Amino acid sequence: MRTRLPDTLAGEARDVAETALRACVHCGMCNATCPTYQLTGEELMGPRGRIYLMKQALEGEPVTDLTREALDGCLGCRACETTCPSGVQYHRLFEVGQAAVLEAAPRPTIGRLQRAAIRALALSPAFGALSGLGRALRPLLPSALRDKVPPAPGPAGRPPVRHARRIVLLTGCVQSGAAAHFNAAAARILDRFGISLVEARQAGCCGAVPGHLDARDAAQTLARRNLDAWAPLLEDGAEAVLATSSGCGTYLHDYPDLLRDDPAYRERARRLAALVR
């Protein structure tokens, strides 16, 4: 696409925006793998529409609440990048484009408070207990809420750590509370193959929750914490880092981008990303 970016957009942000927007040929193949487009069938809820909205915002065209909401609907899953024939780095454009949109159409106070509350709750140990409470009360809830409460989990039994081959497990945040049986099932399967899953007590959320909710600084802090926590296990011979939630896995792969301006961590982030499964 042709771009008309203003001179006020400079440096790395300009390079990222220009590269992505020029590479996009607006073919729409990305819509085929975008879950939000598949669910809604709406152009503005797919990557091609969002790219167009970001282009408008970056070029100084009017931005509305609708623009912000269309970007808020993006899951950050990067499925669109897997089908793009032009190699558009949607996630890099999104970083720059969302910042431009939020500057032109700031989030209302209530929206900021909601996001802060979700960040705090998702990262809190209380989330697991509240998930259990929600499941217990599920039959009494109105149907709109009931559908959002995850069903009762399967067995959560984990085999002991007993094999020489080891893989570090991302404990995570929301999944541990809402669906702990995923990690337990992964541990049982890998145990059959002679691999034990190990965890670092200090590790936690991969950073995706704050990263997707307007708090990139907090995401960077969590990424550094995980890198520090996993380092001894990896030095001790653990072969990889496993995420059983696809969104978290994607975010771990993004650590080199997330920490690219941090000389103390960017090389470690690059090495870690190569080990993520």
Site residues, ligand SF4 (CB under 6 A): 24-30, 34-36, 47-48, 50-51, 74-80, 84, 86, 88, 90
- Between 177 and 211, whose beta carbon lies closer to ligand SF4? 211
- Between 70 and 179, whose beta carbon lies closer to ligand SF4? 70
- Between 50 and 119, whose beta carbon lies closer to ligand SF4? 50
- Grouping H, G, I as helix, E, B as strand and the rest as coil, residue 145 is helix
* Contact between 226 and 203 (Cβ < 8 Å): yes
CA contacts within 13 A on the Cβ side of 98: 20
Cα 207 from Cα 223, distance rounded (Å): 6
- Between 79 and 168, whose beta carbon lies closer to ligand SF4? 79
**Nearest distance in Å: CB 97, ligand SF4:** 11
Residues near 263 by beta carbon (within 8 Å), at least 6 away in sequence: none
**Nearest distance in Å: CB 89, ligand SF4:** 9
**Nearest distance in Å: CB 77, ligand SF4:** 4
Pairing of strands 165-169, 195-198: parallel
- Between 78 and 166, whose beta carbon lies closer to ligand SF4? 78
- Between 92 and 119, whose beta carbon lies closer to ligand SF4? 92
**Nearest distance in Å: CB 76, ligand SF4:** 5
Tell me which residue has tokens 């159409």: 105
Beta strands in 147-232 (DSSP E): 165-169, 195-198
Alpha helices by DSSP H, 84-159: 90-104, 109-122, 126-136, 143-146
Three-state SS annotation for 208-245: HHHHHCCCHHHHHHHHHHHHHHHHHHHHCCCCCEECCC
Cα 116 from Cα 110, distance rounded (Å): 10
> 198 phi and psi, to 5 degrees?
-120, 155
Tell me which residue has tokens 């914490």: 225
**Nearest distance in Å: CB 211, ligand SF4:** 13
- Between 24 and 233, whose beta carbon lies closer to ligand SF4? 24
**Nearest distance in Å: CB 47, ligand SF4:** 4
**Nearest distance in Å: CB 124, ligand SF4:** 26
